[in-house]
Amino acid sequence: MDVSIGGLGRSSGNAPAEILALIFERYGWGKLLDYKILSDLNDKTIFPLIKSVNRFSSKEITFGFAGFHSGFYPIIKDIVQNNPSIDYRDLIIAVSKIQKEKVNKKLLMAYLMKIKEN
């Protein structure tokens, strides 16, 4: 298997390593790779140099993995800005395991408290 951060290798055909990490997690193969570290590297280091659309941004792959609708992201963003110790990706994944259609601030705050407890 040929993978690279953001799928940007020397030639075409490289799978994004951060997506492979999520596939491993989804199918129960554990956290062999930490997608958050890989996607942060992609978002903060690689794609700013390329100056193109980042199809594999951390936000986009988290939405896809969790089945989370991007329309709810402004609520997440607001909550995380007031709780900087919480990673928005953890909140999205946690709440999406239970609710994907009726996401609201009250529900998100309840999950925020669960994440803080762990």
In tens, the pLDDT along 28-41 reads: 887 778 889 999 99
> For the whole model, what pTM was predicted?
0.81
The whole-angstrom separation of Cα 62 and Cα 11 is 26
Domain that holds residue 30: 1-56
Name the residue type at position 71: G
The whole-angstrom separation of Cα 45 and Cα 40 is 8
Q: Considering the domain boundaries, does residue 61 fall inside one?
A: no
The parts of the chain modelled with pLDDT lower than 50 are none
| Residues 52, 1 within the same domain | yes
| Residues 78, 108 within the same domain | yes
Residue 107, φ and ψ in degrees, nearest 5: -65, -45
| Residues 74, 117 within the same domain | yes
Number of domains in the chain: 2
The whole-angstrom separation of Cα 17 and Cα 5 is 5
Q: Considering the domain boundaries, does residue 11 fall inside one?
A: yes
Q: Considering the domain boundaries, does residue 115 fall inside one?
A: yes
Angle between helices 88-96 and 105-117 (to 10 degrees): 110
In tens, the pLDDT along 66-75 reads: 999 999 999 9
